[in-house]
Amino acid sequence: MARIRPARGQDGPADGDEPGPGGARAPKSTPGKRSASKGPQSPKPNAPGRRKQEKTGSYTKAVAAERKGSRFIQEVIVELRKVSWPTRSALAQSTAIVLAVVAIVAVYLAALDAVFSRLIDSIF
């Protein structure tokens, strides 16, 4: 069974605590009451004279769209470096094999076309 992580504000199990259904634990203190063990409370975020803190690592949609294109190019370059590229001689050999197979298939299909063409002409 999957293990469920306690929600924020809930500590780990204390002696005698029983997990509830699904492994969830009930909070130790009642909601609305402040625990004395917590440190000093910070002032309200919208208090006068206090500036709103900017989140670290946050950026706008325009910046995200700009980074998306450059990130794609960077990932393409990384993937291309992982490719094992053939040597010049291996490339020439593979090209020669492909051209030979194409020529053989072309001759075979031309022969079949000639045979069936004469067969159809003789019937009709």
Percent pLDDT > 70 in the chain is: 47
In the DSSP assignment, the letter for residue 114 is H
**Alpha-carbon distance 109 to 9, whole Å?**
76
Query: What are the extents of the domains in the chain?
Result: 93-124
Burial 78-113 (b: 16+ CB within 10 A, else e): eeeeeeeeeeeeeeeeeeeeeeeeeeeeeeeeeeee
Q: What was the pLDDT predicted at 124?
A: 85
Q: How far is CA 76 from the centre of its chain?
A: 14
17-66 pLDDT, tens digit per residue, is 555 555 555 555 555 555 555 555 655 555 566 666 656 666 677 666 66
